[in-house]
Chains A and B, each alone.
Chain A
Amino acid sequence: MKILKDKVAKLSFVALLATVTASMFYTPTVAAHGEKSQAAFMRMRTIHWFDLNWSKEEVAVNDTMTISGKFFVFSGWPETVDKPEISFLNIGIPGPVFIRAGSWIGGQLVPRSVSLELGETYDFKVLLKARRPGDWHVHTMLNVKGGGPIIGPGKWVTVTGSMSDFVNPVTTLTGETINLETYNLENTYFWHAFWYALGLAWMVYWMRKPMFIPRSIAVEAGKADSLISGTDRKVALGFAAGTIAIVAMSMGNTNEQYPVTTPLQAGLLRGIKSIEMPVPTVAVKVEDATYRVPGRAMQMTLTITNNGDSAIRLGEFNTAGVRFMDANVAQDETGYPDDLLAEEGLTVSDNSPLAPGQSRTVQVTASDAAWEVYRLADLIYDPDSRFAGLLFFWDEAGKRQMITIDAPLIPTFI
């Protein structure tokens, strides 16, 4: 019986080792960016991305594509997140599979951090140059100091070709055109190898003689001074003098070779131009809002007042990048990511045109699996259980108006 037990124990151990080893070889591509894990209120009440466009779904290495659109810096920015006074327009990709060839907010290049104002809408564009082949989820993204990365909607883009063909030519102000992908590489390897070799030489000098036991005995016996000879001192001084001389000479030579150098550039870009949005002629009051957990649906009671001169209809509710649309009023024609688009996800109890000067209270339901898939339903576990989003109304001429809403949300569990 004991032999049997031992055998089982041994085999179990071998099986465990084999499993652990096998798991080490399973290395699937990491594609997600944690967008679904980010707290729902962060996605709903900070940056609202809309009118997004990914110019291509497939791009070859060295070719470019753009992501463009607008983002609204939500007026009801949560208290628990620092305001976007220091922010950076980033891009959510798994490492430099593209290079960021350019990024603009309000038409201004933004290689540095920017200061954004609450309640303002900005247009942006990011120019990407494909570098590494694969299928990549390409997200919009804004980093906010004290708030972290606020990731926007993502779309799959395929990069074809070979990374070895990638080049990144740049012309410097001294007139030289270089490939930034490999520039300065040999020089870096040379100097590191040189200094490493010098360090090794110093080590070898001491390691060729007996080290620990005899020297320890000598030190214990009070003969420590005898362990460093005159030759040792001369060699050491040679190393030190040589080191200082090499540093001085290499610095001098470098300054001759590169007479024009500048410090790293840094600083906050202020005064970023926002879009001058027209004064809304539609007023919306949220009477109440509930989230029905079993039905994966949010229901709002809205009182809509049309102060304009044309009848309007509600066509879209956009929150956290998920677009709930009433297909009878508006349809997406931009190729928006399917998983973020509920083409018939918006139901309005009475969505007949609301005439100018009239007011109406309606029940609006935004329902789709995206509530669950994108973990927006987790809003009910947030410390500040409020929701927010953008409502888009269309008038008879097809003109669109954007209205923001922000209200408490009550979950219902039955």
Chain B
Amino acid sequence: MSASQSAVRSRAEAVKASRTFDWLICFTLFFVVLGGYHIHYMLTGGDWDFWTDWKDRRLWVTVAPIVSITFPAAVQSMLWWRYRLPFGAVLCVLGLLLGEWINRYLNFWGWTYFPVNFCFPSNLMPGAIVLDVILMTTGSMTATAVIGGMAWGLLFYPGNWPIIAPLHVPVEYNGMMMTLADLQGYHYVRTGTPEYIRMVEKGTLRTFGKDVAPVSAFFSAFVSILIYFLWHFFGQWFNKTDFVKAA
């Protein structure tokens, strides 16, 4: 067989080869994204995602969406502009969550015995689905950044509230009031994570009283828009095929 001849001899063989290629690429992409996105998110979101006593209504709401919209934007860029496949964000979040759950269950619980109800990951799936749908329906990077980025930031807190609300029930403990999440952080000793490292309830949004979470979410959403643009371009740049073009 010469180089100019086809590797397949029939349409059926071509379809079969194409599907095999699909699964190979999907499998590889999933685990590459899992590894890259996981490392990125742990380095930038880290403790906010590790511990329930970091999941506050100000900084967790602000930081987590901003640092997590990165890979979804880049992978969307590749899958959409080259293949018109609108599942980049969901693929990223599925990979991230699988990696996080493996890490939390085997490492945090299996090795160091932190209860899973203290170290479960944040839920990013609602924002990812909406981000993909907006890209698909508008076909516009700008619209996806503005509307999808906004949705990504705004859906984060309500999407997680059913999971964390039970841990925000107050408790009186030796004469002090704290939430159950605070109590988890106090009870389950972390020698390398003293209380002062926690970046919670810091900031100057005091005029909004108890309704600070929506304000934080809006701010996060605005920044997520900018980060979406940036990482979408990163995705496009990384997806260039210049290096495989014939000389």
Contacts and interface: CB of A to CB of B under 8 A. Distances in A.
Interface string B165-190: 11111111111111111111011111
A191 B123 contact: yes
A212 B21 contact: yes
A192 B114 contact: no
Contacts of B39: none
A99 B113 contact: no
Interface size range on A against B: 35 or more
Interface stretch (B63-71, B88-96, B223-231): B88-96
Contacts, number: 269
A329 interface: no
A266 B198 contact: yes
Contacts of A176: 169
B162 A254 contact: yes
B182 A173 contact: no
Q: Pick from A163, A255, A265 the residue with the most CB of B within 10 Å.
A: A265
Interface string B109-149: 00011111100110101101110111011010000000000
A90 interface: yes
Given A112-B195, A192-B120, A215-B83, A261 B168 contact: yes
B17 to A, nearest CB: 8
A265 B116 CA distance: 21
A265 B189 contact: no
A228 B83 contact: no
A100 interface: yes
B171 A170 contact: yes
14 contacts: A91-B191, A102-B174, A149-B191, A195-B123, A199-B125, A199-B128, A207-B22, A236-B133, A240-B130, A243-B130, A253-B162, A257-B165, A264-B168, A265-B176
Given A96-B189, A244-B155, 19 more contacts: A94-B112, A96-B114, A131-B113, A168-B187, A180-B115, A183-B166, A188-B116, A206-B86, A236-B132, A240-B133, A240-B134, A243-B129, A250-B161, A251-B161, A255-B165, A262-B169, A263-B57, A263-B201, A265-B178
Interface of A: 33, 86-88, 90-102, 109, 111-113, 131-132, 141, 143, 145, 149, 163, 168, 170-174, 176, 178, 180-185, 187-188, 191-192, 195-196, 198-200, 202-203, 206-207, 210-216, 218-219, 224, 227-228, 232-233, 236-237, 239-240, 243-244, 246-248, 250-251, 253-255, 257-258, 260-268
